[in-house]
Amino acid sequence: MAKPVVSKKKQKEIAKERVAILFAKADDIFSKNKGLANRYVTLARKVAMKVKLRMPREYKRKYCKHCYKYLRSGVNARIRMRNGNVVISCLECKKFTRIPVR
């Protein structure tokens, strides 16, 4: 039996839903199991890359761009304002991300 053909637009919608679910699960489980939360972030990135989906802004800022760990302010991330930028420091890999403020 042949597989049903799914349009690219539908694939991206499905991927967006899955990314949202994975980040919600990562947020819920983070306090109990950090490794599993990091795995959910990795899976969400893979799902997004598979269909060439741009990661939504609210999810982009929830993980480190260098080590791909899930970030939670005060636990393994430090968020500061400096020279008109939001600076997110990852306390896992000691790298930081600067986001300009408009």
- The pLDDT tens digits for 28-45 are 999 999 999 999 999 999
For residues 59 and 23, the answer to whether their CB atoms sit within 8 Å is: yes
Instruction: Answer whether CATH 1.20.5.420 is correct for domain 8-100.
Output: yes
Extended strands (E) in 1-102: 77-82, 85-90, 96-100
What's the pLDDT at 4? Answer: 81
pTM for the model stands at 0.88
Q: Residue 5: pLDDT above 90?
A: no
Percentage of the chain with pLDDT > 70? 100
